[in-house]
Amino acid sequence: MKIAVAGTGYVGLVTGVCLAENGHEVTCVDVDEAKIALMNQGISPIYEDGLEELMQKNKQRLCYTTDYMQAYSTADVIFIGVGTPEKRDGSANLKYVYSVADQIAENVVKDCVVVVKSTVPIGTNDRLEVYFEERVRAGIRVFVASNPEFLAQGTAVKDTLYPSRIIIGTEEDFVANILKKVYQDFSAPLLITNRKSAEMIKYASNDFLALKISYINEIANLCELVGADIEDVATGMGFDSRIGNKFLHAGIGYGGSCFPKDTKALHWFANFHDYEMKTIKAAIEVNDNQKLRMIKKARKFYRELKGLTISVLGLTFKPGTDDLREAPSLVNIPILMDEECKIQAWDPVGSENFKKRFPEGIVYCDTIEEALTNSDLCMIFTDWEEIKRLDVHKYSEYMRKPIVIDGRNCYHLEQFEDTDIIYDSVGRRIVNGAHSIGYGVM
């Protein structure tokens, strides 16, 4: 089947490449000529495990272009996979979706199905179909279907090739049958529903996971106050099949391109309909506060942060990606910079993107050891495997004062028991906390 995909970000590019892997002829279109030039060389513009290998493997079935006519005129199915970032008020910004809709309307020359994978407010697909009716040339029909994505950055290729479910929202049986053919070689539960339900499934799913993360972080904060251990608490909860053990890992909040904007978008959408979703509102507030826990913890060990050398391990919002969107590092590092701290940062793939935002005021290090050298405090923002595998004695070996604040619970407490390292994590007791007397704690 001839397929066009609008947008070559995490959703669009991964979708296009994985559809080519399953035998379809795919044209990926984007307005960014530099990105298209890269992809035509077999180079992925985003860091995603396994993506570049699949691009090269399926290069005979993949085409990358900025030519809308080439992309849309012969396509049987057109996927829209562009971003829907939040506006200042928290609502979803649909300008990129409608920009693509204009390009499609101007260039289609036959009936086709437009499939919206982008996360859009409930009712958007219905409005898009009317939008096309008003703009395409006479005698041509554009049918719109909702097909939300459920991929996670870092595992996007696997999540797309082996999805947890395939949701198709449409008002016409023949459109559902076309999309069944698109996905005929994918093995996953399939649900055919109407467009509004499909749109709601995406928001409800993402926001439920955000709720779960915020809830376990609240429990973790209370564990610190009463002396319970969040790792044991989460394990005990996870044995209950009704709860499950996924998304019960306490930390310093969720980030990325989905959870932050999708919680805000659904909260705004409900308010627009004169309804307040109190649980979603609470999740947003908890997550915002959780990102500041690292600074609060640091102030337990130093009356003044000014002039300290701070090691920062991990800049991206999660391991396996170079994406910085809503990363806790973006909240904390500017505060440290305002305190005139010297920051030595390490991240295996995220440093270049971070450097674009902060070209000065940060020493970007090639190794963890370099980032730790002569520092007064270490903050861990991302649970990269390189950090988890690090011999913890290196904190003592390289740091001037070995105080480690771990926002991702990368280590077992026992690893620090017979060391001089102060280790403060999330929802657990501080190891060697008594040592902090010598470091200026009140």
Catalytic residue positions? 258
Tell which residue, 244, 296, 291, 232, has the closest CA to residue 428: 232
Both tokens assigned to 63:
């085409």
Distance CA 31, CA 54 (A): 22
DSSP codes, 56-95: HHTTTTEEEES-HHHHHSS-SEEEE-----B-TTS-B--H
Distance CA 416, CA 353 (A): 33
In single-letter form, the type of residue at position 11 comes to: V
User: Which residues on adjacent β-strands are paired with residue 422?
Assistant: 403
Give Cα 394 distance to the centre of its chain: 31
Contact by Cβ (8 Å): 160, 137: no
Sheet holding 25-29, edge to edge: 62-65, 25-29, 2-6, 77-80, 112-116, 142-146, 166-169, 190-193
Distance CA 180, CA 168 (A): 9
In single-letter form, the type of residue at position 215 comes to: Y
- Residue 409: how many CB atoms within 10 A of its CB? 21
Tell which residue, 94, 81, 48, 73, has the closest CA to residue 320: 48
Both tokens assigned to 407:
């926002």
Give Dmax (Cα) for the chain. Answer: 80
Distance CA 31, CA 39 (A): 13
